[in-house]
Structure 1
Amino acid sequence: MKIKTDCIPLHQQFAQVPNAAAKLNKKALCIYAATGFFLGEDDFFENRKVLQPGQTYTLDEQGAIKHQEAHFKWQYQPRNISFQTAVDEFTDLYEQILKEQAAGHKVLLPLSGGLDSRSQAAGLKHIGAEVSSYSYAFTRGYPEHQLSEKIARVCAFPFQGFLIPPGYLWSVIEDLVKINSGYSEFTHARQMAVLDAFKQMQGEFSLGHWGDVLFDRGIAAADEGKDDVVILYKKIIKKGGLALAEALWKQWELAGDFQDYLKSRLSALLAKIEIEHQGARIRAFKSLYWAPRWTSINLQIFEQAHPIHLPYYDERMCRFIMELPESFLADRRIQIAYIKQRNPGLAKITWQAQKPFNLYTYPYNKMPYNLAYRVQQKLKRSLQAALGQAYVQRNWELQFLGERNDQQLQTYLQREAFVDWVGADSIDKIYKGFKNQDAVFYSHPLSMLLTLSALQRYGLKN
C-alpha cells in the first residue's frame, strides 16, 4: 500500500514497527506531558509510529514501512524581488486558493481580532464568496467577538457571537477523547463548547491556522544567533511542563535524564532540515513537527460538523514561503500590506495583539502612547476582581477555577488506576502547586494530568 502525506498533514497516519512490543512509549509520553504534543514519529505505543510530512511511503501487508522517499522538502531559496511584488504574488496565490476552496458552497468563517482570519475575510469578500461568520469570547473575558463583529460588518457578512461558559468541558470530555484520541491536551479545545451550534450551520469551514507561523519571523530578533536546540527547548516546553515530565520520568524509573533526552531528540530532528538560514530552519521545524502534531489535532472538532479548508496548509503556499526573503515575512508585513491594499476598512479595526491600535497605528503601541489604555485596562480588571468577577484570559480558567470545577477535576485525578499509573507524588506535586503556589505556572501540567486520566479512562488503545 502506498501513502502520500501532505507537506502539513491534517490527519495522522500510522505504520507498525516490526518486532516492537505493544507497550506504552513512556519516554514519548514524558515529552508529551512537557509540551502538549508528540515529537516526530512518536506515538503512545512503541509498536506504532506516525508517518511524517511530505513523504511517500510503501507499507507491507503488516503495515510496516518498506520504502520511504520525500516528495516535499522545506528549503530557503529567496528570490530577488521587491516587497510589493511579493505582496502582489501573495494576493494572486492566496485568492486563487480561497476561490478553489470556496467553490460551490457557503463558507463558514471563524473571525478573531488577529490577522489570519482578517486576511481570509478580505480575500473571501473580494472573490465574492458567500460567507457566514462567527466568533467566540470567554465569559468575563476580553470581548474578542466585538472586534470580529466589526470585521463582519465591514464585509457585510452575517455574524453570530458565542460566549464560552465556565465548566463546559466536563459534559463533553468523553466525546473529545473520541474525536482527538488524546493527542492534544483538552483545555484548549473551546470549539467543543459550541460544537452543537456548528452542526446547525450550513456550509464548510475556512480556517486560517498556521498563517501566523508562515508569515512572521522564524525566530524572535532577540534569539538570532542562539543555538537552535536552546531556542526550541524554551519554545516548546510549556510553563510547568518540565515539572510533570520529570515527575513521570522518576515515577516510571526511566534511565538517564529527561532534559538530556528531549534535547537529543530536538537535535536529531533539526539535523534532518538542510537549511542554513536560522529563521527559515526554525520555521521548517515548526511546520514539520509542531503543526501536524499540535495544530492539526483539534481541527478534527470542526470536521465533526462540516468539511474544513485551510489555505495556509496548501502546498503552493508553503512553496511560496520558501522563496520569500525572511525580511518580507518578519513582523507579519505581507499580511498587513495585503489587508491594507485589499480592504482598508478592515485595516482600521483594532488589531487584538496590538490593542487598542490598528494596522495603521500599531507602531505606536509603546510608551508613552499606550499608557492611558494600559492604566484603563488595569483599573477595569481591578474593579472586576473587587466585585468578585475575575477577568478570564485563558481557557483553563474556565475549567479549573471554582469549587464545582475542582470537584469534577478530582474525579479524574483521584481515579485509582490513574494514581497507580502516574504516581500519587506526581499528582500531588502538580495539584498543590496549582492551588497553593502559581496557578498559571501549573495550569499546563494539571491539564496534561486531566488529559492522561481521561485518555486512560475512555480511549487509550493500541
Structure 2
Amino acid sequence: MHSIKNKIIPSEPIFVGEKKMLDYEAICVFVATGFFLDDDTYFKELKVLKPATNYSVEKDKIVAEESYFKWHYSPVDRPLKQIVQEFSVLFEAIIKEQVQNNTVILPLSGGLDSRTQAAALHHLGNKVNAYSYEFYNGHNETSYSEKIAKACGFSFQKWQVNGGYLWNEIENLAQKNQCYSEFTHPRQMAFVEKYAAMGDVFSLGHWGDVLFDDMHVKDHMSNEQQVEILLKKVIKKGGLELANVLWKSWGLEGDFEGYLKNRIRILLDKIDIKTSANAQIRAFKSLYWAPRWTSTNLSVFESVRSISLPYYDNRMCEFICSVPEKYLAGRQIQIEYLKLRMPSLARITWQDHRPFNLYNYKNNRFPYNLPFRVLDKLKRLVSNKKFIQRNWELQFMGKNNEVELEKWLFENESFKALLNPEIVKEYYSNFKNKDSVYYSHDVSMLLTLSLFTKLNNYEK
C-alpha cells in the first residue's frame, strides 16, 4: 500500500485501475465539452485521482480517500493595496522556490498572466529565455511579447504556427496526452524540438486568468442558474449535437443533455459556497476544468523540461479564498502588481484591450476605441490573405490536410469498430459543406477518438 497526496490543482492525471469496459457516457461528455468530467476516463474501471485528496492505493486499487482541502469563500476585507502587497510576497516566493537558480523558459503572450511572471522573474534576477508564437496569416501576437521581453532584458524568439504540422506530430502527441484532449489545442507541439536548448525549467502561467478574475455573474445567483451558466461555458460549439447522436447510437438510457446537466448539478452542490456564485463557479472550474482540460497538455512541456506553475500552487489557491470578489473582478490584483513592480510592462498594450494598456484600458469602449476598430477592419478588408484565427484552420483546411485528416477518419479499422462510419461521414460532410466553424470541434473530437482506438488497439 502507498499514499498519494494529490494537489489542489493537479498538473498531471494520476490513473488508478484497469482498461476494461469503455465508459460510453463519459466519452459523450468528452465529445460535448472537450474534457472528461470529475474522475472519468475512457474506461469504467480506470479512474483519475481527484484534486485536493489523500489516497491510499494498493495493487492499483483505491483503498481509502479523504479530502484535505475544500474550496471556500472566506474574504478578509482589507485595502486593495494591502492585497497586492500580499500577492507580491507570495507570488515571488512561489516562483523563487519553483525555479531556484535555473535558466527559465518563459512562454509570453499579450495578456496578463505571463506578463506578471515576467515582472516577478525580472525582479528576482533570473536568467530568462522567452518566446512567443502566432498563426500564419494571423494577428501579430508576438509583437506584444517581444516588447515585454525587451523591457525585461530577456532573450526572445518568435515563431509561427504553420499549416499541417499536426500530421507529423499527431501520434507522438497522442502518446503524450493519451487522447484526453483534442489535437489542435496544444499548439506548443509545433515547437517541441526547440525547447530543450532554451533553458532548464518552464514557468507557465496557466489558470491565472481564472483565479484572478470574477466569473461575470451576480453573486446571489441560485445553484440552478449556475448550472445553466456552467453548461453554456463547458459545451463546445457543435459538441452537444454530436454527443446526442453518439448517445443514441450506443443505445444509452435516458438522454444525454439530462445526464450532463445532472452531473454538473451534483458536482456543483458538493462545493457549497452559498455566499458567492462567482467563488463557487471559480471553484467548480478549478476542480473539474483545470485538471482535466488545462493540465492535459502540460505533458508536452514536461516531455522536454521540468515545469513550474505558480498559479497552481496550493498556497495561491488558499490565498484566493481570502480575497473579496470586488478585488478579483477585472484582474485588478495583477494590474496593480504590474504597475507597482514594473510600470514599463504596464504601459505595453494589453492584447485583449488593444490598443490600450494597463493604465488606460478602461477606454476600450465607444467612442474611444472607434478609430482603432475602424482602422483594424480596413486593414483586413484590403488584405488579400485569409485571416487565420484558429489552429484547426491551419491543420484541417486545404487539400494536403484533408488527405491526412480523411486517413484517420475513414481508413482506421479500429475507429470503425467504435463508431458507425455513417456518423463520421455525416459530420465531416457538415464541416466541409455546411459550417466549418460550427462543426470544427466535432471533427477534432472524431479525430481524437480515432487516435484513441489506434493507441489502445480497440476491437469491438
TM-score category (smaller protein): over 0.9
Per-residue Cα deviation, 1:158-187 (whole angstroms, up to 9, x for no partner): 101111111110000010011010011111
Distance 2:193 2:340 in 1: 37
Q: State the partner residue of 2:211.
A: 214
Q: State the partner residue of 2:410.
A: 414
Letter in 2 for 1:333: Q
Q: State the partner residue of 2:305.
A: 306
Residue 149 (structure 2) pairs with residue 148 (structure 1) = no
Q: Equivalent pairs: percent with the same residue?
A: 50
Contact 2:414 2:458 (C-alpha < 8 Å) held by counterparts: no
Deviation at 1:260, TM superposition (A): 0.2
Change (3 A) 1:223 1:241: farther
Per-residue Cα deviation, 1:182-228 (whole angstroms, up to 9, x for no partner): 01111111111100011232221000000000000034459955711
Letter in 2 for 1:430: Y
Distance 1:414 1:280 in 2: 45
Q: State the partner residue of 2:234.
A: 236
Distance 1:236 1:357 in 2: 30
Distance 1:152 1:365 in 2: 25
Distance 1:222 1:67 in 2: 36
SS of match in other structure, 1:129: coil
1:23 to 8, 21, 24: 21
Deviation at 1:424, TM superposition (A): 2.5
Residue 159 (structure 2) pairs with residue 162 (structure 1) = yes
Change (3 A) 1:223 1:426: farther
Per-residue Cα deviation, 1:328-374 (whole angstroms, up to 9, x for no partner): 10110100111111111111111111111111111111111111211
SS of match in other structure, 2:105: strand
Distance 1:441 1:94 in 2: 39
Deviation at 1:428, TM superposition (A): 2.5
Distance 1:11 1:461 in 2: 24
Q: State the partner residue of 1:193.
A: 190
Letter in 2 for 1:287: S
Letter in 1 for 2:299: Q
1:432 to 424, 429, 438: 429
Q: State the partner residue of 1:264.
A: 262
Contact 2:217 2:277 (C-alpha < 8 Å) held by counterparts: no
| Structure 2: stretches of 5+ with no match in the other structure | none
Per-residue Cα deviation, 1:112-133 (whole angstroms, up to 9, x for no partner): 0000000001111111111111
2:68 to 71, 74, 78: 71
Contact 2:183 2:448 (C-alpha < 8 Å) held by counterparts: yes
Q: State the partner residue of 2:393.
A: 397
1:113 to 95, 110, 113: 110
Q: State the partner residue of 2:341.
A: 342
TM-score, length basis structure 1: 0.95
Change (3 A) 1:369 1:221: farther
Change (3 A) 1:440 1:141: same
TM-score, length basis structure 2: 0.96
SS of match in other structure, 2:75: coil
SS of match in other structure, 2:194: helix
Distance 2:379 2:260 in 1: 42
Contact 1:141 1:392 (C-alpha < 8 Å) held by counterparts: yes
| Structure 1: stretches of 5+ with no match in the other structure | none
Contact 1:109 1:134 (C-alpha < 8 Å) held by counterparts: yes
Deviation at 1:104, TM superposition (A): 2.3
Residue 290 (structure 2) pairs with residue 288 (structure 1) = no
Distance 1:222 1:166 in 2: 44
Contact 1:181 1:459 (C-alpha < 8 Å) held by counterparts: no
Change (3 A) 1:223 1:377: farther
Distance 1:185 1:24 in 2: 18
Deviation at 1:460, TM superposition (A): 6.1
Residue 363 (structure 2) pairs with residue 364 (structure 1) = yes
Letter in 1 for 2:233: K
Contact 2:392 2:440 (C-alpha < 8 Å) held by counterparts: yes
Greater displacement, 414-423 / 237-246: 414-423
Q: State the partner residue of 1:6.
A: 7
Deviation at 1:72, TM superposition (A): 1.5
Q: State the partner residue of 1:324.
A: 323
Deviation at 1:459, TM superposition (A): 4.0
Change (3 A) 1:196 1:461: farther
SS of match in other structure, 2:47: strand
Per-residue Cα deviation, 1:72-112 (whole angstroms, up to 9, x for no partner): 21111000211111111001100111111121211111100
Change (3 A) 1:120 1:460: farther
Greater displacement, 196-205 / 183-192: 196-205
SS of match in other structure, 1:186: coil
Contact 2:184 2:391 (C-alpha < 8 Å) held by counterparts: yes
Letter in 1 for 2:296: I
Distance 1:318 1:203 in 2: 26
Change (3 A) 1:461 1:87: farther
Residue 136 (structure 2) pairs with residue 135 (structure 1) = no
Contact 1:178 1:459 (C-alpha < 8 Å) held by counterparts: no
Distance 1:165 1:198 in 2: 17
Per-residue Cα deviation, 1:366-403 (whole angstroms, up to 9, x for no partner): 1111112112222222223xx2x211111111111111
Letter in 2 for 1:288: L
Deviation at 1:423, TM superposition (A): 1.5
Greater displacement, 269-278 / 47-56: 269-278
CA RMSD of aligned residues (A): 1.7
Contact 2:218 2:278 (C-alpha < 8 Å) held by counterparts: no
Contact 1:219 1:282 (C-alpha < 8 Å) held by counterparts: no
Distance 1:125 1:34 in 2: 41
Distance 2:450 2:38 in 1: 24
